[in-house]
Structures are given as structure tokens and as C-alpha cells.
């Protein structure tokens, strides 16, 4: 049982991050906190990709002397990391748009609390 | 030969105009509308040409970026289905942007330049999603189109930013779940190319990662497509966005997401492989059926035309997804045909509501009366065409897609979904005919006064009338030449059908 937890600890970590993010988005009333939850959720996905690229006993994907490239076990997989660079950029852009919308909402209603906001809308 | 470059040229056109519009807009603000028309016009022309080229030669074009062959490089796959969807979305965008000239003056004065820039970026995202043959590349285009549509929705009424923020939260979670699904598939297959992965999946099928990936991807794409329990963002977003934004996003956004569902379910996994593991097609069929009825009933309850159309969108996207869930040729034809028909109908209906808003200042159904048929004879004629097509009366286009969907359910002996199609057609009739009744029939409770006021013809201008007329005629043409279109759709089947 312990092996099952220890052997997959990166995945448990991802799941905890995803749950924390979802909790923030669903239950927090402040819209900024919802945005933070969103950011944590995305970070969970990004860390999942980074963790699957990990290999024990392998080095960074830069060609080194004495480590033949044909032996793939010598090097970590570089592709998930490069993909996640793009995903991080997407996440930053999403946060930018979210905060721009929050500024608009605050200017129009004077609050960022969801309950007060819904009261004012009605 | 330019024919083989078409898949790359269409998105490049949009990138070019997304850069040109702000640059030239700083110098000459009044020509941004013309520039955006030029951009979508070139893209529509290219996609029409490419589509004809594809039909004549029958060859799928695979465009490798930078000459890197897959699975190392990223490719664009221009097959029959992609060419068809690209043609539909670019033509609709062209027509909607013609209509947006007057709306932009009324609903967001002084913000034309950012509006058209974002519209170009959004079309870039949608075209990229349709064309790409790489799962991660698809995620990037998905986010480009989503971020632009959040911004487009936020340009609108007072409540628009809040509706847009809710869409942003839900949409980003959907996108992230899709990305997580891609990650699971990548760990078991080691490739991101759709064609390559399709070849590898049978070897790893049964692995729990594949099942998890399938669920995550269907949920992620389902959020974007507004599949029934995940539709919460849609009604508010479409209602409070400005009329031309909702006319641009409503026919295109959910259709492209449904197309991604086609790609994932039918092309990437393949029906046999999926139903071996998990009854996904049955489950999405059930949700689509509930969504069809729910959307129609909620549409009846609305008194605001745009909100009614938004709920009707939830119902109509249900038809498309139900067609996929039938997983037989008739269901496939019905779904693809309904993508075309619904894009035309919903764009036309949103344009009518936009035209009414520009003239009357509102689109409340309760305030409609029979003076409208004299004031806006042609707008109302276009509305009637779309309404009848939505209900599904021949020879208009809407009948044929429902016909093929019904044939699909009969072939699977799925009588409940057949009943859902028939009942929802009746419900469609309820919510469209109540408007037609208000507009075309005299109110019996109103006293027949002879001459209180002379109602003058107050028809909308040419830039608004032209796209509506083209779409109304398009509905008739698609209906009449439906046999040709179905013959073309026959060539788009995924392998194994």
C-alpha cells in the first residue's frame, strides 16, 4: 500500500494541486481568489507534464561527451518541457485577460465579491 | 503550385490582418472594417478554392511546417471534413462582419479597431483548431480562440464582463482538462500527431491512462461545445455580448468544438476502440438528448430574443453531438450537415436580433407586434425562413439534417433519441411560431382602430440586409441541393466506417 503511494507520489501531488485549484474556483466568493484557483489548477497540469519527463539516472537533454545519444535512457525527454513553456505562456495570457475583465467588473459594480455582485445585478 | 500551400495560407491571412488592422487603424481609423472584410474575404476565397481543389483531386493535403515530417514536426491536415468546416466558418465570418458595420457604430463606438483585431485573432484560432494535425498545437489554437472570444464577449452590455469572466473560468478549466488528457495519451504513446497516435492506440488500448485521457478530453472539449451539463457559461455570454460578437461566436465557436469532438471520438480513437473500453458514445448520446430537450424548454421560457437563441444553441449543439454518438454513417452525415445548417440558421437569427436592436433599441419578444411586418418586411422574411428551417420543414435546410439524424437513430434502433428529435422539433415550433404570431397576425384583443398611425417602411440598410438575404437564400439552396452536399460528405468518413 505504501509503495503504491510512494511510487506515484508525483501523481498524488498533481491531484492535490488540481483539487486545491478546483476548490478555489468553486467555493471562494472573491473573484480574485477564483483566478488564483485557476492559476493553481493550470500549474497542476504543467507540473504533471514536467514530472512525466523525469527519468532516473538520466541527465539534461544536452549532448554530453561519453553519453551516446542512441542510448535514450541517458537523457531526459525534452519535449514535455518545451510544450509546457507554451502552456505557461498561455496561462499568463489567460491571467492577463482575467484581470482585465476583473478591472472592468470592479469599475462597473464597485465590488469583486460574487454574492454582492449577484445582488447588484438583480 | 499554390494548391498544396492552402492549409497554411488561410491562418497566415488572419495573422497578417491581425497585425495590419491595428497598424493601419492608428493611421486611418475608418478603413478597419474594409480591412477586416478583405481579410475574411481572402480566407473565404482560399477555403472555397481549396475545397473545390480537394473535391476535384480527392487528395488530402498534409502540410508540414518547416519541412519537418511528422511525428517530429507539426502538420496541418486538410482533408474533406476540415476543408468543409473551414469553408463554412470563414464564409459565415465574412457575412457577419459585413453586418457588423452599423452595429459597431451603435454598440461599441470608437472601439472598432480592437474589435476587428480580436475578431481576426479569434478566426485564426478557430481555423488553426480545424486544420491542425497535432494534439498540443490544437490546445494552443483552442486557447488563442478562447482568449479572443472572452475579449469579444466582454465588449457588450453592462453585465458582459461578468458573463465573460465566468466563461473564462469554465473555459480555461475545460482547456486544462483537455491538456491533461493529451498528457496521459503522450505518456503511453510518445507521440502527439493525431494520425500517428491513431495507429499506435490499438497497441496500448486497455491501459487505464487511455481511458482516463478519453474521459478528460471529452469533458474538456464538451465544455467548449456546451454539451448539456457543461453549458452553464453559454446563455449569459451570448445574451450580454454585443450583437455582432454573439453572431460571430454563436455559429462558429461551438461548431468548431463539436468538430474537435468528431476528431477525438471518430478519427483519433475510432468508435470500435472506444466502445470496447467505455460506453462513451452512449453516454454523450444521453447527455445530448437531455440537452436538446432542456435547451428547447428553456428557450420557450425566455422573453428576450438573444437569450432564447442562446438556449436554442444549447439544444442545437445537442443534435450535432447526438449525430456523433450514433456512430453510423447516417448519424455522421446528419451531424456534419447540421454543422452547416445550424451555422447558417443561428448566424441569421442573431443577425436579425442585431438588426432589430439597431432599429428598435431592444429585442424583447413581449414588445414585438404586427407593425414589424410593415416596418421590416425583408428582415422578418429572413427571420421566418430561419425559423421554419429551425423547426425543420422541407425544402429548407434544417429538415434534411434532422432527417439524417432520425435515420441514424432508427438504424441503431434508438427509439428514445428518435422521440427526442420529434419532440424537440415541436418545441422549436412553439418558441419560433410565437414570434411569428406576434409579427404576422393581428392581436385579437387589440381594438381594430382604423388609422391611429401610419406605419412606414423602416427597413435596415444594405450592409445589414445583404448578409441576411444571402444566408436566407443559402438555407434554401442548401435544402434544394442537399443531395450534392450529402454526396460530398460521403467522402469525408473516417476510416473504419
Confidence class for position A87, pLDDT limits 50, 70, 90: very high
Mean pLDDT, residues A26-54 taken together: 91
Scanning every residue of chain B, which has its alpha carbon at the shortest distance from the alpha carbon of A113? B162
Cell 497566415, located at residue: B12
Per-residue pLDDT, B26: 85
Q: Which three cell numbers stand for residue B32?
A: 478597419
Cell 438588426, located at residue: B355
Contacts of B311 (CB under 8 A, 6+ apart): B235, B295, B296, B298, B299, B302
- Enumerate the H helices of B28-111 as residue ranges: 32-57, 80-107
Residue B185 lies in a domain: no
In sequence order, the β-bridge partners of residue B132 are B76
Residue B33 lies in a domain: no
Per-residue pLDDT tens over the stretch A30-42 = 999 999 999 999 9
Per-residue pLDDT, B449: 53
DSSP A77: -
| Predicted-complex ipTM score | 0.93
Average confidence score pLDDT of chain B: 86
pLDDT-above-90 percentage for chain B: 28
Cell 456546451, located at residue: B226
Mean pLDDT, residues B465-474 taken together: 89
Confidence class for position B167, pLDDT limits 50, 70, 90: very high
CATH of the domain at A41: 1.10.287.3510
Per-residue pLDDT tens over the stretch B427-437 = 988 888 888 88
A-chain residues near B164 (CB < 8 A): 101
- Tell which phi-psi region holds residue B369, choosing left (phi > 0), alpha (psi between -120 and 50) or beta: beta
Print the domain residue range for B377. Answer: 321-497
Omega of the bond leading into B71 within 30 degrees of 0 (cis):
yes
Distance of CA B157 to the CA centre of its chain: 22
Confidence class for position B2, pLDDT limits 50, 70, 90: low
Residue B419 lies in a domain: yes
From A38, A83, A104, residue closest to B136, measured CB to CB = A83
Cβ atoms < 10 Å from Cβ of B301: 10
* Cβ within 8 Å, pair B165-A98: yes
A-chain residues near B186 (CB < 8 A): 52, 80
B-chain residues near A34 (CB < 8 A): 169
Answer with the residue of higher pLDDT: B422 or B457.
B422
Residue B287 lies in a domain: no
Confidence class for position B496, pLDDT limits 50, 70, 90: low
Confidence class for position B452, pLDDT limits 50, 70, 90: low
Answer with the residue of higher pLDDT: B441 or B350.
B350
Task: Give yes or no for residue B83 having a pLDDT over 70.
Answer: yes
Separation in Å, CA of A67 to nearest CA in chain B? 22
Per-residue pLDDT tens over the stretch B9-62 = 999 999 999 999 999 888 888 888 889 999 999 999 999 998 988 888 878 888
Q: Give chain B's domain count.
A: 1
Scanning every residue of chain B, which has its alpha carbon at the shortest distance from the alpha carbon of A47? B180
From B164, B173, B179, residue closest to A25, measured CB to CB = B173
Distance of CA B57 to the CA centre of its chain: 28
Task: Give yes or no for residue B278 having a pLDDT over 80.
Answer: no
Per-residue pLDDT tens over the stretch B354-381 = 888 888 877 888 787 777 777 888 888 8
Residue B394 lies in a domain: yes
Mean pLDDT, residues B441-459 taken together: 62
Long-range contacts of B492-495 (CB under 8 A, 24+ apart): B492/B79, B492/B80, B492/B81, B492/B84, B492/B336, B493/B329, B493/B332, B494/B266, B494/B267, B494/B270, B495/B270
Per-residue pLDDT, B453: 57
How far is it, in rounded angstroms, from Cα A51 to Cα A74?
17
Scanning every residue of chain B, which has its alpha carbon at the shortest distance from the alpha carbon of A80? B183
Cα→Cα distances A52→A79, B3, B253, Å: 11, 40, 32
* Cβ within 8 Å, pair B183-A45: yes
How far is it, in rounded angstroms, from Cα B429 to Cα B427?
5
Per-residue pLDDT, B444: 62
How far is it, in rounded angstroms, from Cα B404 to Cα A9?
50
Confidence class for position A103, pLDDT limits 50, 70, 90: very high
Per-residue pLDDT, A41: 94
Task: Give yes or no for residue B270 having a pLDDT over 90.
Answer: no
Print the domain residue range for A47. Answer: 2-62+70-121
Per-residue pLDDT, A72: 75
Phi and psi dihedrals of A60, rounded to 5? -65, 150
Separation in Å, CA of B466 to nearest CA in chain A? 34
Per-residue pLDDT, B497: 61
Q: Which three cell numbers stand for residue B429?
A: 415550433
Residue B437 lies in a domain: yes
Cβ atoms < 10 Å from Cβ of B372: 22
Cβ atoms < 10 Å from Cβ of B50: 24
Between CA B468 and CA B473, with CA B472 as vertex, the angle to 5 degrees is 115
Q: Report the candidate in B15, B132, B137 with the shortest Cα–Cα distance to residue B79.
A: B132
What are A's interface residues with B at a Cβ cutoff of 8 A?
22, 25, 31, 34-35, 38, 41-42, 45, 48-49, 52, 80, 83, 86-87, 90, 93-94, 97-98, 100-102, 104-105, 108-109, 117, 121
Residue B265 lies in a domain: no
Per-residue pLDDT, B63: 87
Q: Give chain A's domain count.
A: 1
Residue B44 lies in a domain: no
Per-residue pLDDT, B172: 93
Amino acid at each position: 500500500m505504501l509503495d503504491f503511494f510512494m511510487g506515484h507520489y508525483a501523481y498524488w501531488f498533481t491531484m492535490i494541486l488540481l483539487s486545491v485549484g478546483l476548490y478555489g474556483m468553486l467555493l471562494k466568493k472573491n473573484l480574485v481568489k477564483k483566478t488564483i484557483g485557476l492559476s493553481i489548477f493550470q500549474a497542476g497540469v504543467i507540473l504533471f507534464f514536467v514530472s512525466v519527463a523525469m527519468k532516473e539516472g538520466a541527465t539534461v537533454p544536452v549532448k554530453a561527451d561519453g553519453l551516446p545519444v542512441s542510448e535514450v535512457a541517458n537523457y531526459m525527454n525534452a519535449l514535455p518541457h518545451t510544450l509546457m513553456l507554451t502552456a505557461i505562456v498561455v496561462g499568463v495570457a489567460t491571467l492577463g485577460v482575467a484581470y482585465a475583465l476583473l478591472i472592468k467588473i470592479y469599475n462597473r459594480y464597485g465590488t469583486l465579491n460574487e454574492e454582492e455582485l449577484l445582488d447588484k445585478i438583480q | 503550385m499554390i494548391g498544396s500551400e492552402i492549409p497554411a495560407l488561410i491562418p497566415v491571412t488572419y495573422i497578417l490582418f491581425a497585425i495590419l488592422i491595428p497598424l493601419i487603424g492608428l493611421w486611418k481609423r475608418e478603413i478597419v472594417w474594409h480591412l477586416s472584410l478583405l481579410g475574411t474575404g481572402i480566407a473565404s476565397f482560399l477555403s472555397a478554392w481549396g475545397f473545390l481543389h480537394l473535391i476535384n483531386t480527392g487528395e488530402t493535403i498534409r502540410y508540414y511546417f518547416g519541412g519537418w515530417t511528422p511525428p517530429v514536426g507539426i502538420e496541418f491536415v486538410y482533408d474533406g471534413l476540415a476543408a468543409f468546416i473551414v469553408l463554412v466558418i470563414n464564409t459565415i465570418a465574412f457575412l457577419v462582419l459585413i453586418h457588423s458595420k452599423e452595429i459597431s457604430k451603435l454598440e461599441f463606438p470608437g472601439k472598432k479597431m480592437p474589435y476587428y483585431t480580436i475578431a481576426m485573432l479569434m478566426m485564426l484560432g478557430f481555423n488553426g483548431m480545424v486544420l491542425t494535425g497535432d494534439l498540443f498545437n490544437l490546445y494552443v489554437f483552442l486557447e488563442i480562440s478562447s482568449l479572443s472570444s472572452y475579449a469579444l464577449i466582454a465588449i457588450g452590455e453592462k453585465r458582459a464582463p461578468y458573463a465573460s469572466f465566468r466563461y473564462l473560468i469554465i473555459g480555461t478549466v475545460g482547456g486544462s482538462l483537455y491538456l491533461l488528457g493529451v498528457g496521459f495519451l503522450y505518456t503511453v504513446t510518445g507521440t502527439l500527431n493525431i494520425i500517428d497516435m491513431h495507429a499506435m492506440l490499438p497497441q496500448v488500448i486497455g491501459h487505464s491512462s487511455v481511458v482516463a485521457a478519453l474521459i478528460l478530453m471529452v469533458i474538456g472539449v464538451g465544455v467548449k461545445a456546451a454539451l448539456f451539463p457543461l453549458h452553464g457559461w453559454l446563455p449569459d455570454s451570448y445574451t450580454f455580448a454585443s450583437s455582432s460578437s454573439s453572431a460571430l461566436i454563436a455559429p462558429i465557436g461551438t461548431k468548431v468544438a463539436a468538430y474537435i469532438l468528431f476528431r477525438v471520438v471518430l478519427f483519433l480513437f475510432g468508435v470500435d476502440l472506444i466502445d470496447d473500453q467505455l460506453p462513451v458514445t452512449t453516454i454523450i448520446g444521453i447527455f445530448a438528448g437531455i440537452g436538446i430537450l432542456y435547451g428547447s424548454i428553456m428557450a420557450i421560457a425566455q422573453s428576450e430574443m438573444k437569450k432564447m437563441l442562446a438556449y436554442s444553441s444549447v439544444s442545437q449543439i445537442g443534435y450535432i453531438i447526438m449525430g456523433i454518438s450514433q456512430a453510423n454513417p447516417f448519424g455522421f452525415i446528419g451531424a456534419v450537415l447540421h454543422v452547416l445548417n445550424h451555422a447558417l440558421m443561428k448566424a441569421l437569427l442573431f443577425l436579425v436580433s442585431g438588426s432589430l436592436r439597431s432599429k428598435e433599441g431592444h429585442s424583447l419578444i413581449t414588445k414585438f407586434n404586427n407593425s414589424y411586418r410593415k416596418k421590416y418586411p425583408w428582415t422578418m422574411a429572413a427571420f421566418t425562413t430561419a425559423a421554419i428551417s429551425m423547426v425543420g420543414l422541407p425544402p429548407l435546410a434544417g429538415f434534411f439534417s434532422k432527417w439524417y439524424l432520425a435515420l441514424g437513430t432508427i438504424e441503431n434502433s434508438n427509439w428514445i433519441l428518435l422521440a427526442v428529435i420529434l419532440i424537440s422539433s415541436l418545441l422549436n415550433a412553439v418558441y419560433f411560431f410565437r414570434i411569428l404570431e406576434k409579427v404576422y397576425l393581428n392581436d385579437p384583443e387589440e381594438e381594430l382602430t382604423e388609422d391611429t398611425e401610419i406605419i412606414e417602411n423602416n427597413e435596415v440598410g444594405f450592409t445589414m440586409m445583404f448578409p441576411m438575404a444571402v444566408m436566407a437564400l443559402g438555407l434554401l439552396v442548401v435544402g434544394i441541393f442537399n443531395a450534392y452536399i450529402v454526396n460530398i460528405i460521403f467522402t469525408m468518413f473516417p476510416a473504419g466506417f
